[in-house]
Each structure stands twice: as C-alpha cells, then as structure tokens.
Amino acid sequence: MRSGRARAPGLIVALAVVGACAGGDGPLEQGDRLMAVGAVDEAIAEYKLALRTEGEEPDVLLRLGSAYGQRGEVEAALQYLRRTVEQDSSYRDVVAVEMAGAARVALENGSPDNMARALEMVLPLGLGYVPTDLKLALADYHADLSDYGRALPLYLSALEAGEAEPDTWLATAVAFQEVGGCREAIVYFERYLESPRADRGAGSAARWQYGQCLYTVAEQERAAGRTAAALEKLDLLIAQGVPRTLLDRAHFARGEILRRAGNLEAAEQEYERVRELNPARTGPLVRLAEERIREIRYGKS
C-alpha cells in the first residue's frame, strides 16, 4: 500500500482558529478554541453540547464530523457529515474534503478498510475530490481484493493527474488484463518493462503477463483477419520467450498465417519449431504441426 501524505490544515481547523481568536462563551466557540490547540476529545464534548442546545445545524454537524475524522473514527464522521449534507447540500464540497481527510487519517493509522469506507461517500461526487495518493491507495486496496473493476478507474485517474510511477503503469496493466482488456493492458506493460524498475522489481512476472496478453490479442487479430497485426504480437512474444508454455502455440499460429499467405517454406519452419519445443513429440498441437508439414511436403492425402 502506498503511504499517504501528511494532512494539510482543512477548513474546520481554520474555523477553529477563528473561533479561538474571536472569543465567545457558547459551546460552539469553546469547541473551536479547543480544536485550535489540538484538544480534539474536549472539542467533541463541546460540539455535542452545541448540538443539543442549537439542534441539527449544519455548522455544528460539520464540526463534529471533522473532529471525529481527525481521530480516525470514520463511522462517526460519516454519521455527522451525512447529516450535514442532508441539512444543507451547499456543504457538499466541504464534506468531501473532510471525508478525504478522514480517509487519510485512517490510512496513516493502518486501517485501509476505514479509508475505503470514508471514500465511499466521496467517490459519488467525482474522482476529482480524491487526492491522487488516496486514489492510488484505494486502487491498491481494491486490487488486493481482486476487485479490478473498481481499481482500474482509480489507476487511470491517477495517471491522468500526472502520476507516472512505473509501479502504477504495471498495476494499471494488470487491472486491464484482469477485466479482459489485454489490448489496453499491452501499452501499460510496455511502459513498465521499458523502465529501469522492471530490472529490479516485478519484471519477470510482468513479462509473463505481458506475453499472455500478446498471445490473446494476436489470436483476436488473427480471428478478425488482421494478419499483420497478429504477426507483430506473435513476434514480440517469441522474441521475449515468455511464457514458455505459449511459445509452441505462437509458432503454430505464425505457421498458419504464413501457410495461408502461400509462404510455405517459412510456414514449415514454424511448424518445425513446434516440434522442437516439444521434444517428447506428444500432444495434439505437435500432431497437427506434423500433419501440416506433411501437407506442405507431399500435399493432402
């Protein structure tokens, strides 16, 4: 999980400073002064008193939600901040900022579940309300749960915001692959594999996954009759040599394309490679390759 940045002072902290400077004897002002000096627990007690005396005022609910968020108590923060928006929808932007702050505190406290819970209220308002580092943390959270459909838009949004770390390219590629988007995944795999990180990070696994996607897309191109594009992907797979379990299939597919194009000599070489990659000379693909070789040499019987 990527670590979050320190939380910047938010609007509620600013209000607390104003309250501290302005004075006043009510519980709301008392709470603001306590918040200004970091006495969060005592401030919450004052805000609750204000809630009892003043009723469901958005300013009071907002302060309570923010204070609980700063303590990392996400459920309590959600309770009060939801009620804030219910009372006055114009507080929506402020509430989104406060819930993002609560998510950051939860993450820093080692509770990714609470981070995700806090951001549930923010995401419907738009990804623009979520800071880039929290997008990545939430994307990683969903990816760890194999929920790649939720992770992918977060990775893409982080990349659009200027996050260009190789690990993010790889995570985006894997997410695309997992949701059936190998064609899109190839671009991000290639970005990662071209980076220095690939030589000391997850390069081997990435090449294996990249090779899988190359073969998948090559078969799609071949089925659609786009033989040049199919050969390009097969050549990349064969050149990198991973996954080895797909190399015989890649050579056989090349043979099929070349044979249909009338390049029989080159096709025969590809079928021979299928045999060489299977020294035991067993399996249906080997038998089919040998049948193709006989057809090329002697014609159909």
Give per-residue pLDDT as tens, 123-134: 988 898 999 999
Question: What residue ranges define each of the domains in the chain, with the CATH number in brackets?
Answer: 1-126 (1.25.40.10)
pLDDT given at position 198: 78
pLDDT given at position 164: 72
pLDDT given at position 291: 96
CA dihedral for 191, 192, 195, 199, sign (positive or negative): negative
Omega into 279 within 30° of 0, i.e. cis?
no
CA angle in degrees (0–180, nearest 5) for 264-254-270: 60
Q: Which two tokens stand for residue 257?
A: 């394309």
Give per-residue pLDDT as tens, 37-50: 989 999 999 999 99
Q: What is the mean pLDDT of each run of 10 residues along the chain (301 residues)?
A: 39 49 72 92 94 91 94 92 93 93 93 95 90 95 97 95 86 98 97 84 86 98 97 97 96 98 97 96 94 92 60
pLDDT given at position 7: 38
Q: Which two tokens stand for residue 110?
A: 């080692």
Q: Identify whether the C-beta of residue 118 lies closer than 8 Å to the C-beta of residue 102.
A: yes
SS3 track for 226-237: CHHHHHHHHHHH
From the list 200, 212, 299, the residue with the least C-alpha distance to 259 is 299
